[in-house]
Amino acid sequence: MTLQSLLHINNIYIFCILSFVLLIVYGLSKKAIRKSRMANNQKRSMVSKLKFLIIITLIILILTLWATELYQFIISIAAIGAAIAITTKEVFLCFGGGFYRAFAYPFTIGDRIEVNNVRGDVVDIGLLGTQILEVGPKDLTHQYTGRTVTIPNSIFLTNYVLNESETGKSEKDYALHVFIVPIKNDIHWAEHKNFLLNAAKEVCNEHVDAAKDYFKRLAKKRQVDMPLIEPRITIKFHTPEVLNLIVRVTIPVARKGLIEQEIINKYLEKSYHE
């Protein structure tokens, strides 16, 4: 398709003549409407409809005169656009994910997050990717694996983000921490539950008052109910032979892993010495 074929001289003459005729018709009709006895709102409505009709007629005229050329031009533009979209799709998605993170603010540097089965501490946030220090494996421990993972920001558009540091942004803040201790489903289950609860109370007792003050301020700020601070244990069946003791404690954000290990060690000491 060339510019000469698009702007064929005969088509231009026809378009100009018909456009001139349409403009004359529009002007005369508009003058007649204004001189009529219709109400002012009806006059405005009729003029608006007439203008819309003239525009539609001009568009149809253009499509009729240059249908083939316009079709070829649109196909060419569509092909170029599709090629660009395919080759730059991931880049645009990464930019979109970066804007989503900036405005939705699901996490910030220093937070411990989990996304698409990758868990770790955020150390750098870029326009195309986010870098984290991996913690794991999975949620089994709170220790670094020694690996750095770079996540493309596009993943935030299609996956939910778990933020383990949402309630705590500094080492002095507190968080509700949950972990599971499996036991045999036998006649000694109640003893094991008491051993584990006592171990949790012994370890977390020193943090109760400070945690109450922290969550009291947080509940007032966010207009929510204050959670229970004292250690709690919930029992769930894992299998008919195994019970899961789900422990929930309130501890400093920076010491989650250390305190969890301390509670488990004390529980094992109590259960084996009794």
What percentage of residues in the chain have a pLDDT greater than 90?
Answer: 19
Please give the pLDDT value at position 1.
46
Does the pLDDT of residue 7 top 70, yes or no?
A: no
- In contact, 135 and 119? CB cutoff 8 Å: yes
Judged by DSSP in three states, 227 sits in: coil
> Rounded mean pLDDT of 231-240?
93
Q: Classify the C-alpha dihedral 64-65-67-73 as positive or negative.
A: negative
Which tens digits make up the pLDDT trace of 26-79?
888 888 888 887 777 777 778 878 888 888 888 888 777 777 776 777 787 877
- pLDDT band per the 50, 70, 90 thresholds, residue 17: confident
Please give the pLDDT value at position 19.
84
233: left (phi over 0), alpha (psi -120 to 50) or beta: beta
Does the pLDDT of residue 149 top 80, yes or no?
A: yes
- pLDDT band per the 50, 70, 90 thresholds, residue 141: low
Does the pLDDT of residue 172 top 60, yes or no?
A: yes
Indicate the Cα dihedral angle 214, 177, 237, 242, nearest 10°.
-140
Does the pLDDT of residue 5 top 70, yes or no?
A: no
Joined tokens for residue 95: 């930019």
Please give the pLDDT value at position 48.
77
What percentage of residues in the chain have a pLDDT greater than 70?
Answer: 88
The domain defined by 174-273 folds into Alpha-Beta Plaits (3.30.70)
- pLDDT band per the 50, 70, 90 thresholds, residue 191: very high
Q: What is the mean pLDDT of the chain?
A: 82
Could you tell me the residue ranges of all domains in the chain? Answer: 3-65, 93-166, 174-273
Q: Is the peptide bond before 231 cis (omega within 30 degrees of 0)?
A: no
> Taking the CB of residue 170, how many other CB atoms lie within 10 A of it?
10
Please give the pLDDT value at position 249.
92
CATH number of 93-166: 1.20.5.510, 3.30.420.40, 2.30.30.60, 3.30.1360.120? 2.30.30.60
Bridge-based pairing of strands 144-152 and 129-135 is antiparallel
- pLDDT band per the 50, 70, 90 thresholds, residue 82: confident
> Taking the CB of residue 250, how many other CB atoms lie within 10 A of it?
23
Does the pLDDT of residue 100 top 90, yes or no?
A: no
> Rounded mean pLDDT of 217-239?
85
- pLDDT band per the 50, 70, 90 thresholds, residue 182: very high
Judged by DSSP in three states, 163 sits in: strand
Does the pLDDT of residue 119 top 60, yes or no?
A: yes
Greater confidence, 175 or 249?
249
- In contact, 177 and 256? CB cutoff 8 Å: yes
Closest CA relative to residue 153, chosen from 113, 125, 192, 185: 125
